[in-house]
Amino acid sequence: MNQHQGSQDDEELLLTSLDSSRSTLEQETTVVLDLAPSTPLWAYALLIAAVFAVSSAAVTFAMIAEVPPITLAAWRLQLTSIVLGIGGGVQYRGMPPADRHRMLQEARLLAASGTCLCFHFGLWVLSVETTSLAHSLLFVSATPLFLAGGAWLLRQPISAGELAGAGLGLLGAVLLATAAARSDAQVTVGGDLAALAASLCFVGYLLVGQRLRKWMPAFVYAFSVTSLAALLLTLGALLFEGASLAAAGMHGVFGWAASPHYLPYVLYLALGPGIVGHTGEPDRCRCFNTLLRYMDPLLISLACNMEPLIGSLLGWALGLVAPPGAWTYVGGGLVLASTCVVSLASHCREKRQAAADKGGGAATPALGGSRGLGHAAAAPPAEGGGELLGLRAAHGDSPSGGPRSKAPAAAPAGPPPSAV
């Protein structure tokens, strides 16, 4: 009797063990499927289209370079603000009263972000018009290098790979500013410095946005800072370039709206690079948001880092610029390689940290102090630099402004990063 009862207990224990094993296997299979979703062919086509849209912005500016730079930058953001205002109005209506009041409290930060965006675009357009297209794109895309260098100076955790990438980028920048500038008649020191300053301004825009976007809806934030930047640039055109409120064409602050010649260019800049490519950061870009469902953020980041190369090739193919000199190829190659190295190293460091956080252990030690770069360090470029910065941040925020799940297959939030 006891032997029979013991046999039944053993059978029940075996069945329970089998059920537990099957349940565990199903859960693990589900995780694997979540971590490795299939990538449809259309996703690659969308990635190509988005990167092309971002890369074509500088080329479009170069096609209407006769327009004064501040005026042209104002045009670019005026129409984008109108488009973003539609989404911003809808999201603002859905915000709780507490968040609306918080917006008023954070008005200074919003103003700082909009001011950084204003200078970013104004300086970048100036660089497009005063130096070679390749140099403008290379220097304005140096934002990840500024972030890596800043993290090291502030003793924040940073990997040896990120430091090596920043050093490689510095070497490339020196070659571009010296040997390339002497051998290429299109290059000017002033234009190169303007592009570099534009990249630095974008760092400020991104860091402020990283803080505000933790709770503020995407389009509400984008409209607030973009409309302020457009207003500041419009005032700048009136004060410093002698633009007119009523004139049509290149001498009017709203001259694009009444000009059959300029209207198509501004429409493309607002709807192509501005909306299809990104709206300031990839976490507010529908294209990159969609791609995050099917692709690793690192792949998207590396693809966006090709903006200087693609933009330069487009300008040469359209006959807007002459082929760059040999030293531009050398220095530019080093800068491109450095942004890819920084993106890859940052991606690896964040994965190690995430795995350590999940397992409750300690991450592989990084160089620096106790605070990290945040997700901003590993982002891909924004137009004129922005997309280099923001896709990693895309994993933390939802389009509505709230935090989203960390699961890789969860719906993407929304590139960092450049600019709306």
Residue 45 lies in a domain: yes
List, for residues 185-197, the tens digit of each pLDDT value.
888 989 999 999 9
Residue 390 in this model has a pLDDT that exceeds 50:
no
pLDDT band per the 50, 70, 90 thresholds, residue 178:
confident
pLDDT tens digits along 290-345: 676 777 777 777 777 888 988 998 998 999 888 888 888 898 899 889 888 888 88
Query: Which residue's structure tokens are 């103003």?
Result: 111
Instruction: Return the pLDDT at 375.
Output: 39
More confident of the two residues 66 and 276? 66
Q: What is the mean pLDDT of residues 350-378?
A: 57
Checking if the pLDDT of 5 tops 60, the result is: no
pLDDT at 208 over 60: yes
Q: What is the pLDDT of residue 404?
A: 39
Which pLDDT score is estimated for 276?
Answer: 67
Q: Is residue 194 part of a domain?
A: yes
> Does residue 27 sit within a domain?
no
User: Is pLDDT of 217 > 70?
Assistant: yes
Domain contains 20: no
Task: Please give the tally of structural domains in the chain.
Answer: 1
pLDDT at 116 over 90: yes
CA angle 287, 138, 169 (to 5 degrees): 110
Q: Are 346 and 377 in contact (CB under 8 A)?
A: yes
User: Which pLDDT belongs to residue 287?
Assistant: 62
Question: Band of the pLDDT at 113, cuts 50, 70, 90?
Answer: very high
* Cα–Cα dist 173/137, whole Å: 12
CB 303, CB 345: distance < 8 Å? no
Question: Of all residues in the chain, what percent carry a pLDDT higher than 90?
Answer: 35
Residue 188 belongs to some domain of the structure? yes
d(C-alpha 341, C-alpha 162), whole Å: 7
**According to the model, what pLDDT value does residue 277 have?**
57
pLDDT number for residue 309: 87
Structure tokens at 126: 């100036």
Q: Would you mind telling me the total number of residues written for the chain in this entry?
A: 420
pLDDT band at 6 (very low <50, low <70, confident <90, very high): low
Q: At 173, which amino acid appears?
A: A
Whether 25 maps to a domain, the answer reads no
Q: How far is CA 379 from CA 15, 162, 210, 331, in A?
A: 49, 13, 11, 22
With residue 13 as reference, give the H or E element that holds it.
Answer: helix 2-35
Residue 411 lies in a domain: no
C-alpha to C-alpha distance for 93 and 123, rounded to whole angstroms:
35
Which tokens in the block code for residue 91? 């999201």
Instruction: Please report the pLDDT score of residue 411 as a whole number.
Output: 37
Phi–psi pair at 213, nearest 5 degrees: -75, -5
In this structure, the number of other CB atoms found within 10 A of the CB of residue 174 comes to 13
For 55-80, b/e burial (b = at least 16 CB within 10 A) is: bbbbbbbbebeebbbbbbbbbbbbbb
Mean pLDDT of 48-61: 90
Q: Is residue 409 part of a domain?
A: no
Q: Which residues contact 229 (CB under 8 A, 6 or more apart)?
A: 77, 114, 115, 117, 118, 121
Q: Pick the closest to residue 221 from 403, 374, 115, 85 (CA basis).
A: 85
pLDDT at 183: 76
Q: Domain range spanning residue 75?
A: 40-394
Nearest-angstrom CA–CA distance, 280 and 291: 17
Residue-level pLDDT at 263: 96
- 0.85 surpassed by pTM: no
